[in-house]
Amino acid sequence: MESKVVRVGIADLKAAKAPDLLVTLGLGSCVGITFYDARLKIGGLAHIMLPDSKQARAGSVNLAKFADTAIPLILEQLDKMGAPKSRLVVKIAGGAQMFAFMGADDRMRIGERNVEAVKLALKQQGLKISGEDTGANYGRSMELNLENGKVLIKAIEKGIKEL
Amino acid sequence: MEDITALSGVQMDALREIGNIGAGNAATALSQLLNKRIDMTVPRVSVLPLDEVPDVLGGPENIVAGIFLRVLGNAPGSVMFMLPRNSALILVDMLLGKEIGATKILNDIDQSALKEIGNILAGSYLNALSMLTNLTLLPSVPALAFDMLGAILSVVLAELGQVGDYALVIETEFAEANKEVKGHFFLIPDPGSLSIILKAIGVNEDGE
């Protein structure tokens, strides 16, 4: 079977099966979270943008946008595909502070807050993080190969590394 | 609460005009700095789903220089001056009187020159806007990032994402006469600022 690249946008999440690749491009302050079940070669990728759905003002319903709602949602999708969360390997990347402002206010710390919220949401699900590349001040792309579970992180002038 | 997906034709026109006046002023400033002619397109006002913004602006993995400033004052928002990698390097050459093509990576002085450009452009853009609207609009200290477009934009998109799933982008494209330097200038009003701006120029909420 030919593998296809399944692209996950901003504030988006997707689950897929081998031999596909799950890819999200240009993570800045956002955080990408990959989930992989090696037995079934099924995985998911979420690209969250904000920490907490409770801070959202009225009218916002995209559950994939927030750490606290996206994680339960992707776990549910994976569970339906037969991948229970007990078997999932979880890795995270992103959460950078793209612009270093003097006297940075809370708004500029969005990357850091996203990472904290993702870790909290994963902990609440009883999930451990087995690979992490977060923080600093540069963008990242993240790729999960569902054939072998490898997670690759690409950054400008830093090359490609495996989580 | 304003619904940016339901702007009337009159409101869109008014925003386009704001972009025109602001960017016109900024283009003049850039032209004087470089002592070169700067061409400018008619501003594009678009209301886009947040997840489509990086694609519309050139693709999330495209490497760009982004000079980012917050707009402070009566109608807060964000201003971004974004140039493709090559344009940014050539702009540095022009600004610092180097041979075109000399700059390959940005050192501290180059970065500071680009930030200063952002400062001047945003300052002249906001000045024009202030005069037009009688609102106090001040640029923050500029910040620079040289990275993937998607990553650079995420900061602005996250701000907008708190209220909705759409971004209102007022965009103008600049090009230096020989097309060696191109860039995009964006004004992205914070949620809530749009109605303040529209009201200040006498276009009320229902677009009458």
Closest chain B residue to the Cα of A53, Cα to Cα:
B162
Residue B205 counted as domain residue = no
Q: What are B120-159's pLDDT values in tens digits? A: 888 888 988 898 889 999 988 888 999 999 999 988 888 8
Q: Give the pLDDT confidence score for residue A3 in this predicted structure.
A: 83
Residue B208 counted as domain residue = no
Q: Give the pLDDT confidence score for residue A65 in this predicted structure.
A: 93
Q: What is the domain-level CATH number for residue B72?
A: 3.40.1550.10
Structural domain count of chain B: 1
Instruction: Return residues 28-87 of A near B (CB < 8 Å).
Output: 28-30, 49-50, 55-60, 62, 65
Give the residue numbers spanning the domain of B184.
4-199
Which residues from A are below 8 Å from B149, CB to CB? Answer: 26
Q: Give the pLDDT confidence score for residue B35 in this predicted structure.
A: 87
Choose among B146, B150, B163: nearest Cβ to A28.
B150
Q: Give the pLDDT confidence score for residue B204 in this predicted structure.
A: 67
Contacts of B97 (CB under 8 A, 6+ apart): none
Residue B81 counted as domain residue = yes
Residue A38: pLDDT above 50?
A: yes
Q: Give the C-alpha separation, B171 to B182, whole Å.
A: 13
Q: Give the pLDDT confidence score for residue A10 in this predicted structure.
A: 93
Burial B161-189 (b: 16+ CB within 10 A, else e): bbbbbbbbbbbbebbbeeebbbbbbbbbb
A66: DSSP letter: B
Q: Give the pLDDT confidence score for residue A17 in this predicted structure.
A: 96
B187 pLDDT band, cuts 50/70/90, is: confident
Q: In CATH, which of 3.30.1330.200, 2.60.40.10, 3.40.190.10, 3.30.470.30 is domain A5-162?
A: 3.30.1330.200
Residue B114 counted as domain residue = yes
Q: Across the interface, do A10 and B157 touch by the CB < 8 Å criterion?
A: yes
The residue written with tokens 């956002």 in the block is A30
Residue B165: pLDDT above 50?
A: yes
Q: What ipTM did this prediction achieve?
A: 0.87
Average pLDDT over residues A98-109: 66
Q: What are the extents of the domains in chain A? A: 5-162
CB-CB neighbours of A98 under 10 Å:
26
Which residues from A are below 8 Å from B140, CB to CB? Answer: 101
